[in-house]
Structure 1
C-alpha cells in the first residue's frame, strides 16, 4: 500500500508561484516523496499545474477554495482526508497552521507533521513572545531550522530538539565540479534586484568604490524600470560604470549555471535573509562569498573560512573587502575547490531529504 505526503499551505502563503515550485517549500516534500517512494500532494489554492508537471509529473495538486475562508476549507479537507496522509509538510510557523495541525492530529493521531521553520532572527524574536508558537511546534513530530544560530536559540529558550537542515541546491541537470581555470574576474549577485532588503544600490556603490579595473559586477534578477533608472543614475559618469553588467532575470537554467560557474566571488548585501538559496548555489559552484551579516552567512562560509561577513549597510567595508579578495588569487582558488566539495557532498537537496527521512524515522517503500 502506498504512503502519502501532503504539503498543506497556510493562509499566509497560500499562493505558490512558478518560482516556488523549485524552492524549498515544494522541493522538500516532492524530493522526500521521490526518495521514500511515497505519493506527494500539494494542497493549496493557487498553483501552475502545467509547470509543476513539466518537471514533477507524478506530483498531485489538490485545490482548496479561498472563498468562504481558506483555513476553514483546509480544516474540512483534513477532516475528510487526514487518515490518508502519512506525513504533513508545513513551512513557516504561521498562526493559521495551529488549527490545521490540531485537526490533522485529531483525525490521524499516528500521522507525522514536519515543520520547516524558515525563520530569520527578527521573526524569531517576535515568535518567542507569542503563546501560539510553542503550542504549534509542540504539535510537530519534526521541526528543522535552516541555520545553526536559530536552531540553538529555539532549543535554549523552549527546551526543544529542533534539528538543523540547511537550504540546499537542486540540479535540473547534472553538473560536474568547477575548475578554477573556468572562472573569470567576475563578482555575481542573484535575486529580486529591486527588493529593498536586497540593498543592490549599496552593492553597486561598493563595487564602484573598489575600483577594480579588470573585474565585472554582474547583476542577475528582475527589477522595475524605475529601479533600473536609479541604478543608471548611480553609474552615470563613473569610470567603472561599464563594468557593472545588468543582466536582468535569467530563466534558462543552463545560462544561469554558467553565471555561477564563471564567477569567482558571490556578493550578497541583504538586510535580512533566512539562509538564502543563492548561498548553496554559489557554494556548489566554488564562489568565494562576501555577505552582510544575515542568517545563514556564518553557516555557508563556515565562520568566514570561505568568505567574509560584514555589518548590514556597511558598503564601504564591503567595497574594501571586494578589492582585497580580488587580489587574493590563491585564496579564491582554494575556496573554489574546498567550498564546492563541501556543498556538493552536503547541500544537494537529494542528499538532504535522506537526512530528513531519518529524522522522521521513515524508510523507502520497496
Structure 2
C-alpha cells in the first residue's frame, strides 16, 4: 500500500518532522510504501540517512504555481496512491483532495489540520464571518477525507463541541531511531534553554530575555541559552539588552543554529528547564525534544501547553507576553528545584508513552 504526503514546499528539516516522519514510520515499522511528493530542492540530506528508504516523488515546476503543479502531479499519479496525506484546511488542500478523489475513488485521504488558534480556518473560529462557499468547501473537504485530525485536545474539543464535526486528536511525535537514552539529572546544568528562530514575532524571544533579566539577581548561578538563528532586525534589540544588563553578558548565551542532531540533543540534556514563550504554535516539536531529555517545561497558554505538560504536571504555563509572571515562575522553580528533579524522570516516560511516533502511527 502506497502512502504519500503531498507538499510542494518541502524542505530538508521537514523530513525529520511530521511531514516526513509519518510516511517514514509507516514504511519502516508497518510495511507501507511511504513517500513524499514535492518539488526537488538541493540539500535534501536527510533522505540519505535519517529517513533512508522513504520514497521521494519529485514533480516539475510546470506552471511555477505550487497548487497547480501539485494537481498536475495528481493527474499523473493519483491512481498509484492508496492514501494521500494533505495538510491544512485550505483552498489548495480542497483542490488537491477533490482532484485525487475524482481520479481515485477508492483512495483514502488523511487531512491533517496542523492548526493553531492563529491559523485555524475561519469556519471554526468563534468570531467567524464565513461565506457560504468557504463553509461548504470546508465541510466537503472533511467529508471526502477518511481521517481528519488536529494536534491539540483544546482545538479538537472546541471544533467537535461548537460545530458537531468529528475530528480526531492525533498529536505530533518524536523519533529516537530505536535508541532510548534516559538522562540522569546529575548530567544537567543550571541552564534554561529555548530553541527556535530567535527574534520572530511568533517566538517572543524578548519575553524570555526580559524575564531572565528580572529574575537574574535571584538566580545567581543560572544561565540562559538561546539556541537558533537570529533575525536580523532582532540584533539591535540584543545590543540594547546587553547595554541595559551588562552583567548578563556571561549568563545569556546565543549559540546560533545547531544543525547536528546529537549536539542539539545534548543541549537539551544539559538543561534543567526548557522555555517556549511563543505567541502561537500548532504544536511545537521542540516540546517533545525537551521532554525526551528530561527538561521541565515553561510555556505560554497556547493550545498544546496542557497536552505536553500533562496539565502542568511536567511544566508550568503563563499568559502570553507576561514576562513578569514568567520571571516569577523561574524564581519559584529555582528556589524549589526538587520540583524540576522529581518531574524529569517521569517526563521522559510520559513523552515516550504519549508522543512516540511508532506508537502514534500504530
Residue equivalent to 1:56: 51
Residue equivalent to 1:222: 229
Would you say the 8 A contact 2:197–2:231 is kept in 1? no
Among residues 281, 290, 307, which one is paired with 2:289 in the alignment?
281
Residue equivalent to 1:97: 93
Residue equivalent to 2:355: 347
TM-score (norm 1): 0.90
Secondary structure of the equivalent of 2:57?
strand
In 1: Cα distance, 2:16 partner to 2:260 partner:
13
Tell me the CA shift for residue 161 of structure 1. Answer: 2.3
Structure having greater relative contact order (Cα 8 Å, sep ≥ 6): 1
Pairwise mapping of residues 217-366 of structure 1 onto structure 2 (< 5 A)? 217-238=224-245, 239-354=247-362
Secondary structure of the equivalent of 2:120?
helix
2:64 matches 1:40: no
Among residues 122, 139, 146, which one is paired with 2:144 in the alignment?
139
Among residues 184, 190, 197, which one is paired with 1:185 in the alignment?
190
Tell me the CA shift for residue 194 of structure 1. Answer: 2.3
Secondary structure of the equivalent of 1:124?
coil
In 2: Cα distance, 1:256 partner to 1:181 partner:
19
Would you say the 8 A contact 2:81–2:107 is kept in 1? yes
Would you say the 8 A contact 2:190–2:271 is kept in 1? yes
Which shows bigger deviation, 24-33 or 63-72?
63-72
Deviations along 1:111-136, one digit per CA (max 9) or x if unpaired, are 11111111012322624334122221
Gaps of 5+ in 2: 125-129
- Cα RMSD after superposing both structures: 1.8
Q: How many residues are treated as equivalent by the alignment?
A: 348
Secondary structure of the equivalent of 1:122?
coil
Deviations along 1:210-259, one digit per CA (max 9) or x if unpaired, are 12210011110011344234213212252233211111111111111111
In 2: Cα distance, 1:50 partner to 1:286 partner:
29
Secondary structure of the equivalent of 1:55?
coil
Gaps of 5+ in 1: 355-366
2:34 matches 1:27: no
Secondary structure of the equivalent of 2:73?
helix
Would you say the 8 A contact 1:53–1:59 is kept in 2? no
Cα 1:344–1:37 change in 2 (3 A) is same
Tell me the CA shift for residue 172 of structure 1. Answer: 5.2
Tell me the CA shift for residue 206 of structure 1. Answer: 0.4
Secondary structure of the equivalent of 2:166?
coil
